[in-house]
Amino acid sequence: MAKTAFRTTNAPQPAGPYSQGIEANGFFYTAGFGPQDPVTGDMAESVGDQTRQVLRNIRSVLAERGLTMDDCVKSTVHLADLADFAEFNLAYAEFFSEPYPVRTTVGSQLANILVEIDVVAVVRDGA
């Protein structure tokens, strides 16, 4: 199986031995991204603003491969507190259109962040 890694400076750099994004067998997989601004390293305080930054980070990695949020078919979301779901969900909806990707949302113990997301996208013909 062939796989190709993709990297951009427009998203936080890996903090370990992993890729920002990998293409394999017609799919594009992203790493789980946190809410760090790739330039300043700053993080917003609210779950809504952190969600927006996470999704901007993901959008940047997808763009490196010529993909958009509309190419996403699956997302996995980790929330530090499931009580934040409503605020998270409003911000999340700003980045996707119907048909929405399938989604799994779980409560997780996260390291000083409120949300982490990864996605799977389909690589379109010609992309």
Domain containing residue 43: CATH number = 3.30.1330.40
Q: Is the pLDDT of residue 59 over 80?
A: yes
- Into how many domains does the chain fold? 1
Place of tokens 């409560």: 107
Look at residue 40 and tell me if it is in a domain.
yes
Stretch 52-64: mean pLDDT: 98
Look at residue 44 and tell me if it is in a domain.
yes
Cβ within 8 Å of residue 4, ≥6 positions away: 22, 23, 24
Look at residue 99 and tell me if it is in a domain.
yes
The candidate with the shortest Cα–Cα distance to 11, out of 45, 68, 47, 55, is: 55
pLDDT the model gives residue 125 = 78
Give the relative orientation of helices 47-64 and 85-93 as an angle to the nearest 10 degrees.
40
CB of 118 closer than 8 Å to CB of 20: no
For residue 33, what are the domain limits? 3-122
pLDDT the model gives residue 19 = 96
The candidate with the shortest Cα–Cα distance to 85, out of 127, 63, 53, 115, is: 115
Look at residue 106 and tell me if it is in a domain.
yes
Q: Is the pLDDT of residue 5 over 80?
A: yes
What is residue 47's three-state secondary structure? helix
pLDDT the model gives residue 57 = 98
| Distance of alpha carbon 11 from alpha carbon 24, whole angstroms | 21
Q: Is the pLDDT of residue 127 over 70?
A: no
Look at residue 127 and tell me if it is in a domain.
no
